[in-house]
């Protein structure tokens, strides 16, 4: 048995499953993905060295150890939740409307789970999100922050903090590779290439490359590649769901493309940064350290 005590989120996930007798219902109650709940239970069982749940295709039941753990931790978790809610400082917790903008791909793939957990942590904050690949004027349009890919700090009134690194990688559908083979070098003229417009304009190595498709959205690029339209240059987190399902394969080259990337959280530098902004910034940074996207 590990000497490290299980953290609150693992125990809270266990309590929800124990009471709901269902991973699906527990996930709905907690506002998180079913897979996240399942992984939390697995981690808790590994930490404790015992099986807590008996799982079948139709039901979830507590093991003897699971019953014992539930009886011990459930009152403590309930008391902790109540104590936190009644803290005198609670009124000073981050609150208000948080308006943000993010790229479509990051917003669709990563943000839902992040925001679900963030909302649980900060119930007094409401969130408005606009997904767009256009760099909006945050001050003029009243946004508190933006998540941007490859942010360039041309505006001295903005602060940018890097939250994830990593460049772009190459991916193609198995059907395309079976039909056309694998390229020997980036820009191989015997292949069809799919590139992002902004990446192509920013990278010298790509400007002279003949591309079959030039698009301004990574989700469209991913789907073109998935249907065998060519070899796509994508952030790894965009390709990951299709890699898991076997819809895309990674294409490696002896001389891989040196295309820098990175994600940034950007916000106006208007004196003291609002607590709702720092709360989300720090939450996102911590989240991406646990679940990196690059």
Which residues lie closer than 8 Å to 137 by C-beta, 6 or more apart?
Answer: none
**Does 90-162+269-290 match 8-86 at the fold level?**
no
What residue segments make up the domains of the chain, in order of their start? Answer: 8-86, 90-162+269-290, 169-251
**Could you read off the pLDDT of 2-33 as tens digits, one per residue?**
456 678 888 989 999 998 888 888 888 887 78
Q: What is the DSSP letter of 291?
A: S
Q: In a 10 Å sphere around its CB, with 0-12 CB exposed, 13-18 middle and 19+ buried, how is residue 172 labelled?
A: buried
Between CA 195 and CA 202 the distance in angstroms is 12
Looking at residue 41, its pLDDT comes to: 92
* Residue 60: pLDDT band with limits 50, 70, 90: confident
Average pLDDT rounded to a whole number, residues 90-99: 80
Looking at residue 162, its pLDDT comes to: 84
Average pLDDT rounded to a whole number, residues 96-116: 93
* Residue 145: pLDDT band with limits 50, 70, 90: very high
Give me the long-range contacts of 192-195 (CB less than 8 A, separation at least 24): 192/229, 192/230, 192/231, 193/230, 193/231, 193/233, 194/221, 194/224, 194/225, 194/229, 194/230, 194/231, 194/232, 194/233, 195/221, 195/232, 195/233
- Phi/psi class of residue 166: alpha, beta or left (left: φ > 0; alpha: ψ in -120 to 50)? left
**Could you read off the pLDDT of 153-203 as tens digits, one per residue?**
566 678 888 887 667 889 999 999 999 999 988 889 999 999 988 877 766
- Phi/psi class of residue 181: alpha, beta or left (left: φ > 0; alpha: ψ in -120 to 50)? left
**Number of residues that this document lists for the chain:** 294
Top CATH class, 8-86: mainly alpha
Looking at residue 152, its pLDDT comes to: 53
* pLDDT score of 204 more than 80: no
Let me know: does 136 contact 146? Beta carbons within 8 Å: yes
Looking at residue 1, its pLDDT comes to: 41
Looking at residue 213, its pLDDT comes to: 95
Architecture of domain 90-162+269-290: 3-Layer(aba) Sandwich (3.40)
Between CA 194 and CA 225 the distance in angstroms is 8
CA dist 16 → 27, 43, 60, 80, 234 (Å): 8, 15, 12, 15, 37
**Could you read off the pLDDT of 242-285 as tens digits, one per residue?**
999 999 999 998 877 666 667 889 998 766 788 999 999 999 98
Between CA 209 and CA 124 the distance in angstroms is 50
For the chain, give the mean pLDDT.
Answer: 85
3-state helix, strand, coil in the chain (%, to 5): 45, 20, 35
Q: 169-251, superfamily in CATH? A: Periplasmic binding protein-like II (3.40.190.10)
Beta-strand runs (E) in 67-184? 96-102, 125-131, 145-149, 158-164, 169-172
Q: What is the DSSP letter of 141?
A: T
Which residues lie closer than 8 Å to 13 by C-beta, 6 or more apart?
Answer: 26, 30, 36, 37, 40, 41, 44
């Amino acid at each position: 048995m590990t000497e490290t005590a299980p953290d609150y989120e693992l125990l809270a996930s266990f309590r929800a499953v124990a009471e709901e007798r269902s991973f699906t219902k527990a996930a709905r109650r907690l506002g998180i993905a079913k897979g996240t709940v399942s992984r939390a239970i697995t981690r808790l069982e590994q930490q404790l060295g015992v099986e807590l749940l008996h799982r079948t295709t139709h039901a979830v039941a507590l093991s003897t150890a699971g019953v014992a753990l539930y009886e011990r931790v459930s009152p403590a978790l309930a008391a902790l939740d109540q104590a936190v809610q009644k803290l005198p400082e609670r009124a000073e917790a981050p609150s208000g409307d948080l308006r943000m903008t993010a790229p479509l791909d990051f917003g669709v793939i990563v943000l839902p789970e992040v925001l679900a957990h963030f909302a649980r942590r900060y119930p007094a904050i409401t969130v408005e999100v606009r997904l767009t690949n256009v760099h909006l004027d945050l001050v003029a349009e009243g946004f508190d922050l933006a998540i941007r890919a490859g942010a360039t700090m041309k505006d001295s009134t903005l602060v940018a903090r890097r939250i994830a690194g990593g460049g772009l990688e190459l991916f193609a559908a198995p059907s395309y590779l079976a039909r056309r083979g694998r390229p020997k070098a980036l820009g191989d003229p015997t292949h069809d290439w799919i590139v992002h417009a902004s990446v192509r304009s920013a990278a010298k190595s790509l400007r002279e490359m003949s591309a079959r498709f030039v698009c301004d959205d990574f989700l469209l690029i991913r789907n073109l590649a998935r249907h065998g339209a060519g070899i796509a240059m994508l952030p790894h987190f965009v390709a990951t769901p299709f890699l898991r399902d076997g819809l895309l394969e990674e294409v490696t080259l002896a001389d891989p493309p040196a295309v820098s990337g990175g994600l940034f959280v950007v916000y106006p530098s208007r004196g003291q940064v609002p607590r709702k902004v720092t709360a989300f910034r720090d939450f996102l940074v911590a989240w991406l350290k646990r679940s990196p996207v690059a």
